[in-house]
Amino acid sequence: MKPIYIIEHLEPELGPWCMFEYERIAEIVGKDNLWFTNIPQSTKELEALGIVKKESVKTMHLQNTCVLDPEAKELLTPNNVKPYQYLIIGGILGDYPPKKRTTKELTQFVKGADAYHIGKKQFSTDNAVYIVNQIVKGTPFTSIKTKYKISIKVDDIASIDLPYCYPLDNKGNPLMSHKLLHYLKTKEGF
């Protein structure tokens, strides 16, 4: 049976950056296998992407649950992921240096859940789902090509540094939401 991916939204708002990532997550795992939890005020746009719940995953008491946390001790593998029905990922935007928000705001409150990492470097929420989904499909983390820290050229002078880890496509380009890429390149004030 396919696992359910749960995105526990932990940002104060459901801003454009979160929505671009959430849209890509729905493309990766499909809307029938995706829950968004801890959503006080839902939107039609979010409801088009998956099942939306006001309740936090912290109070749902789900069984066979695993939290993805960069601070966890064990690496997620195609074998150890098998028993889990629910895979929980933080709806947390990247920060640098990482503030360990997953541990502080999520892992410790999901009683009975096991915790795993996918390497020690920070992926965005959508890329964490991409990596976990690859592992669920049988690819070990060590076989997935990644690049730590990328720079996005905005114009001849400016670029934006993103100090996170990115899976690479077969041409060696970092994977990310196309809408987010466009937003970063065109938004004023970066």
Closest to ligand SAM by CB, 125 or 177: 125
**Count of positions on this chain that bind ligand SAM (CB under 6 A):** 22
Answer yes or no whether residue 119 interacts with ligand SAM by CB under 6 A.
Answer: yes
Of 94, 154, 168, 183, the residue at the interface with ligand SAM (CB under 6 A) is: 94
Cis peptide before 97 (omega within 30 of 0): yes
Among the listed residues 79, 177, 97, 77, the one whose alpha carbon sits nearest the alpha carbon of residue 185: 177
Query: What stretches of 33-89 show up as alpha helix (H) in DSSP?
Result: 44-47
Of 37, 38, 65, 122, the residue at the interface with ligand SAM (CB under 6 A) is: 122
Q: Angle at the Cα of 180 (from 81 to 17), degrees rounded to 5? A: 75
Site for ligand SAM in 68-87 (CB under 6 A): 68-70
Answer yes or no whether residue 57 interacts with ligand SAM by CB under 6 A.
Answer: no
Of 101, 147, 179, 185, the residue at the interface with ligand SAM (CB under 6 A) is: 101
Of 26, 117, 133, 134, the residue at the interface with ligand SAM (CB under 6 A) is: 117
**Residue whose tokens read 């070990």:** 140
> CB–CB of 168/146 below 8 Å?
yes
> CB–CB of 65/84 below 8 Å?
yes
- Other C-beta atoms lying within 10 Å of the C-beta of residue 47: 13
Give the pair of three-digit tokens for residue 66: 């695993």
Answer yes or no whether residue 92 interacts with ligand SAM by CB under 6 A.
Answer: yes
Q: How far is the CB of 128 from ligand SAM (least distance, A)?
A: 3
Distance CA 141, CA 122 (A): 14
Answer yes or no whether residue 133 interacts with ligand SAM by CB under 6 A.
Answer: no
Of 2, 100, 145, 178, the residue at the interface with ligand SAM (CB under 6 A) is: 100
Distance CA 47, CA 35 (A): 10
Stretch in the footprint of ligand SAM (CB under 6 A) among 32-40, 42-50, 65-73, 175-183: 65-73
Answer yes or no whether residue 55 interacts with ligand SAM by CB under 6 A.
Answer: no
Residue nearest to ligand SAM (CB): 90
Among the listed residues 76, 70, 53, the one whose alpha carbon sits nearest the alpha carbon of residue 104: 70
The footprint of ligand SAM (CB under 6 A) covers 68-70, 89-90, 92, 94-95, 98-102, 117-119, 121-125, 128
